[in-house]
Structures are given as C-alpha cells and as structure tokens.
Amino acid sequence: MRKLLYVVLDGLGDLPNPRLNGKTPLEAAKTPRMDFLAKKGKTGLMYPIRKGVAPESDAAVLSILGYDPFKYHSSRGVVEAVGSGLDFKDGNLALRCNFATVDEKCEFVLDRRVGRNLTSEEAFKLAEAINKNVRLTYVPSTFIFKSTTAHRGVLLIKRLDGKLSGKITNIDPAYTRTLEGVGVAKAQTKMKIEKCLPMINDEEAKIAAELVNEFAEKSHKILEKHEVNLKRLEEGKPPANYVLTRDAGDNLPRFPSFWELYHLRFGCMVEMPVERGIALLCGMEEIPLPPPTGNLKTDYIIRAGKVLDFLQKFDGVYVHIKGPDEPGHDGDAERKMQIIELIDEHFFGELMDKLDLKNVLVVVTSDHSTPCIVKAHTDDPVPFLISGNDVLADKTKEFNEKECSKGSLGVIKGPELMPMLVKLLKD
C-alpha cells in the first residue's frame, strides 16, 4: 500500500512584499527541495475554506483535511480543550484564550500576545494563581484555566446547576465570529476590549457571558499584582495582565473519522493544541515528539526522522509545522523567508534522501495565508503541490504562489484536496 505524507506549513501563503523586492517570502526563499517536489509533481492554488473567508487555523485545518467547516465546525475553544487534554463534556463551556497586555483602565488592548515573549513557565505560574484564587459565583460553577504554549491558553467552565451555551461573543477584539461559530479575523483597528455578550436570546448564553466577564475581571485583579508581572515590568517587558477569550463552544464536534471516510490510518505530528484537537477528533493517532529544543534546525531534523519511522506504521502522516505563521503576524518578511528556508533545508533535506518517492505521495500546502503586509490571516489562496507516487509532472518550475497559480490543478477549495489525494493513492 502506498503512503501519504501531508505537510501543512502554517500561514505559509503571502503577498508580494516591498522588503523582498516585491516577492513573497516563499518566492524569495531558497527552497531547492520543495522546488524539486513541485517540479516532479503538480501544483495549484487552494482557498482553504472559500474565497472571502479569512480563516482561523481550526476551521482551515478541518477544511483542508476534507471536512466542510460550516457543516462540521465546532468551536476552537472546544477543539483546543480536547487538544490540551481537558475533560470536556457537552454543556460545558470551552474558550480559546490569550494572555494580553491591557492599559490601566482596562479599556484598550496594548498587546494581544504580551510582546510575544511570555514564556510557558511564566504563563503556567499565572494560570496556577488564577485557578487557585478566582471563584466564579454568578451561578454555581467550577473552571480550569490551562496555559498551553507561551501566551496561549484554554478556559473550561462547568456549570453545576445546568448547561452553558457557546453562543457568546469574543472579548478578544482581533476576531469576530459567525453564529455558526466560525472565527473570522478582523482587520486590526483600534483594539478596544469587548464585554462578552450573548449572541442569542437564551438563558444559557446569558449566563455563559456573565461567567466569562466575571472570569475576565477577577483574573485581571490576580494578574495585575502577580510577581511574574511585577518582575516583567521591572525588566521593561509588557505584563500579562489580562486574559482575552474567544471562540466559545459548548459541544463536542462529531465528524466521521479518516478511517470511516477513507479507510486510512493516520498519524499526526502537531505542535499546537488546536491542531492536536482536530487530528484526534478525526481519529488520528498522535506521534510522540520530544518538547521543542528551541533550535528550529534540530526540531525539524527530529520531525523528519519521525516521519520516516511512522510512515512504516501508518497509511498516512499529517505534519503541521507552525513556523511561518508567527513572522507573518509580526509583519517580519525576512524572518518568514528564513524560517521557510530552514524548513526546506532541515525538514525536507533530511527527508528527501531517505523518502521512497515511488511509494509515497507527498503534499505540501498551508492552512491559510498570513501576509506580512497585513499581519493577519487573509482569504488569499495558498499554494499546494502534490508529488511522488508516479504523479505526472506539469510545468511548474518552483514552489511558490505565482508558479502554483499556473499549475495544472487549478484553483480548488480546501475540502476538495483530500478526495483528490485519496484517488491518487488508490489509482
């Protein structure tokens, strides 16, 4: 049986950048291995969800793994709770959170990510203090706030006398959401802290919103005085003095597994709770990885080794590499280009010599564009390549947005990719 290697480079897609002489980071980067794969295979462009939707990673990943996100989407909060190992049950409330820096009056967000330098250790201590000292009293309820990586966290609230509804708005001003629960990135304007409000006229939603507001106010009081933040202020760093919530959800998504859909056993290699949550909910098995070393080269080499090992065991491996997304949000085109080069050199470099391309179908793509000139996710299509496994080459010369726009696979939508791959695998 032939195997499938599905590589997602988070936020890879981009737009021409003046700092790179009008090239995109992927165009400007030296990527001989991905270019080789593109040259040997076929390419195209993909709207991760559809034109006009700038997706968050959760809906995008679900979509490019073959599930219509409007039909199957659950909230990111729930997905991250599952991916973080929290015990979520229907009727509980789960929210994705960011530690953030806000002004003294709690009116505006000064930094949604605490300067991007909050360590996971600092975040853990802050979360511990919140869990220990905050009590929610609006209705009888308990909660767990879990820090995941750096400034990111998940909040799980359980009401003891009934259910909660996830149909509530975000406190985080950077994202709005549709009533179906799909998160949509907003153009970054003035970052006013929003109150959490019910989106429907429903008691469970009203109570959920009140509990979230209570959590935000009470946790702010704990965070303001916490020694981690006092120390950060002393060091001239922004304090993590607020928890922004978004993408609340109240029920576990139920969608058919990869096995049910395609009769494929998949392993996943992911970095963030959101991707872990989705992969587990698709019935994939997690491939254990050592914690990040802080050295991207080493981490990419380790991943490549694991791919080679676990392609023996599974029919397919889904690898999600977070790398390019962060510099996209930071607007740092040079850094994004460098990270793409590191992935090419060390992840693909390590793989290519040993990968049996005759029997492995390789896909490289992204979950959404994070253009450096926009500093946010956009609806721009992402490039994709399909190579190996006797796929006949089209005329693509390199792997980038411009070349892939001329590729023979044309412009597709996220949910069309998996069926296309499965057909190629089984032909």
Binding residues for Zn ion, rule: CB under 5 A, are: 10, 57, 325, 367
Cα–Cα dist 174/377, whole Å: 11
Q: Which is nearer to Zn ion, 57 or 147 (CB)?
A: 57
| Residue 404 Cβ vs Zn ion, minimum distance, rounded to whole Å | 18
In angstroms, give the least distance from the CB of 64 to Zn ion: 10
Q: How far is the CB of 361 from Zn ion (least distance, A)?
A: 23
Would you mind telling me the total number of residues written for the chain in this entry?
427
Q: Tell the smallest beta-carbon distance from residue 113 to Zn ion (Å).
A: 11
The SS3 call for residue 320 is strand
Residue 96: CB minimum distance to Zn ion, A: 12
**Cα 277 → chain centroid:** 10
Please report how close the Cβ of residue 59 comes to Zn ion at its closest, in angstroms. 10
- Whether 159 contacts 215, CB under 8 Å: no
> Of 3 and 151, which CB lies nearer to Zn ion in the complex structure?
151
Distance of CA 78 to the CA centre of its chain: 13
Q: How many helices (H) and strands (E) does the chain have?
A: 16, 15
**Is there a contact between 329 and 376 (Cβ–Cβ < 8 Å)?**
yes
Minimal distance in Å, beta carbon 380 to Zn ion?
13
Question: Residue 42 or residue 368: which is nearer to Zn ion going by CB?
Answer: 368
Closer of 241 and 370 to Zn ion (Cβ) = 370
Nearest CB to Zn ion, comparing residues 49 and 157: 49
Residue among 250 and 367 whose Cβ is closer to Zn ion:
367
Q: What share of the chain is helix, strand, coil (3-state, %, to 5)?
A: 40, 20, 40
The helix or strand, by DSSP H or E, that contains position 386, with its residue range, turns out to be: strand 382-388
Which CB atom, from 172 or from 367, has the smaller least distance to Zn ion?
367
**Contacts by residues 307-310 (CB-CB < 8 Å, ≥ 24 positions apart):** 307/5, 307/269, 307/351, 308/351, 308/354, 308/355, 310/267, 310/269
List, in order, residues 6 or more apart from 341 with CB less than 8 Å away.
Answer: 29, 30, 31
